[in-house]
Amino acid sequence: MTKITRADFEKYEMGIYVPAPILPVSGKGSRFYDDAGRDYIDFAGGIAVNVMGHCHPEIVKALTEQANKLWHISNYLCTEPAIKLAKYLVENTFADKVFFANSGGEANEASLKLARRYAYEKFGSEKSQIISFQNSFHGRTLFDVTVGGQAKYREGFGPLPGDIVHLEFNNLEALKETISDKTCAVILEPIQGEGGIIPATKEFLTAVRELCNKHNALLIYDEVQTGFGRTGYLYAYQMYGVEPDILTSAKGLGAGIPIAAMMARDEVAKTFKPGVHGTTFGANPLATAVGCRSFELVNTPETLNGVKEKELKFKANYAALNNKYHCFKDIRGVGLLIGADLKDEYADKLKEITAECLNQGVFVITAGHSVIRNAPALNITDEEIAEGFARLDKVLAKFFG
């Protein structure tokens, strides 16, 4: 067989992505390496996924140990790693019950189905309205893109699921005007990720909770990106002190293995009786065993406090770069979900800048249309942070020096 190269991508894979012109082959900590042996500092963390960096020895161990025991058995049977991970999640959150899926989009699809079914059984079929927010992102199933607040992701896929409205994020008046006893659920990201790293205000979340209570609407938090230690809290809602009825978690949960969880309070979870929903791969022992080890490493004071310290380092480094190059209008975010928002006059350079970052050996991603997004491993080291920013400095010097 001939050697696979980067150029084979276009030949064999669908053109849904436009991957950068390198071919990564291995990784360790917050560095990865391409097939030419060049190293890159990873400030993207596989889009907030690789919470413990690349190939963390403890996670490799959990994966290989489980790989030698039992990979998959189907949900006709239950397994110890899945029960254990569900127990961890229940014992450390508002939730009483967990459903496992394979991706964030699937977990959100399940949460929306759960909310609709709950309202249908308890209040009747009239209570079906779902309130969502502009610029939100909830995944790529048809229900998810319809609920998500970015029209471009649902264009041309109709007919779409109905009774879904999109309001301005953090706008309490708009919500007050729209929510009613026909509202079945309000879904939001406590910090909008793809939309540009936009945190909900505490006042907004508190008021959303009160309005949901008043109208018997369920509050769903999509914590696919903000969850699992990303903010320095196990889940971002714990920072706000405002609990949801349903919460979805994915990305970091498996530290790189595809897994997602949808959690709920008992009263809501009871709606998911046998046969109402399901999945072949969800809860499989390989993914949940990795999830367990990932949980044990993330949910420690060392990791979570470390995130808060590293947040300060990232923000200080960006502030120093901005003093030098005056290219950002805002540097924001919580924990290790940090956006550096380019000034309006530079927003059209975003793609060029991130491409040059990779050239200089630091991998960042984007959010919204003007934000450099950082979502590195929660255990990224001081040395990796310093080296990443030294490389970023060279990039910004090229554009703004």
Ligand X SMILES: *Cc1c(COP(=O)(O)O)cnc(C)c1O
Alpha carbon distance, N-terminus to C-terminus of the chain:
47
Question: By CB under 6 A, how many residues form the interface with ligand X?
Answer: 15
Q: Among residues 137 and 204, whose Cβ is nearest to ligand X?
A: 137
Residues 376-395 that bind ligand X (CB under 6 A): none
252 binds ligand X (CB under 6 A): no
Span 129-158, contacts to ligand X by CB under 6 A:
137-139
- Contact criterion met (CB below 8 Å) for 157 and 145: yes
Q: Residue 322 or residue 366: which is nearer to ligand X going by CB?
A: 366
Nearest residue (CB) to ligand X, 49 versus 212: 49
- Residue from the set 66, 79, 93, 108 that interacts with ligand X by CB under 6 A: 108
Q: Which of residues 211-250 bind ligand X (CB under 6 A)?
A: 222, 224-225, 250
Q: Which of 390, 52, 68, 96 is nearest to 252 (CA)?
A: 52
Q: Is 189 in the site for ligand X (CB under 6 A)?
A: yes
Q: Which parts of 155-233 are beta strand (E)?
A: 164-167, 183-188, 191-192, 198-199, 218-222
Answer yes or no: are the C-beta atoms of 264 and 100 closer than 8 Å: no
Site string for ligand X, 270-309 (x = CB under 6 A): ----------------------------------------
Smaller CB distance to ligand X: residue 52 or 392?
Answer: 52
Q: Which residue stretches of 155-283 are H helix?
A: 172-178, 202-214, 237-240, 266-269
SS3 content of the chain, % helix, strand, coil (to 5): 40, 20, 40
Residue nearest ligand X (C-beta atom): 104
Half-sphere exposure (CA, 13 Å, Cβ side) for 281? Answer: 11
Contacts of 162 (CB under 8 A, 6+ apart): 128
**Closest distance to ligand X from the beta carbon of 386 (Å):** 28
The answer to the question of residue 104 lying near ligand X (CB under 6 A) is yes
Binder among 103, 170, 284, 288 for ligand X (CB under 6 A): 103
- Residues at the site binding ligand X, with contacts judged by CB under 6 A: 103-105, 108, 137-139, 189, 193-194, 222, 224-225, 250-251
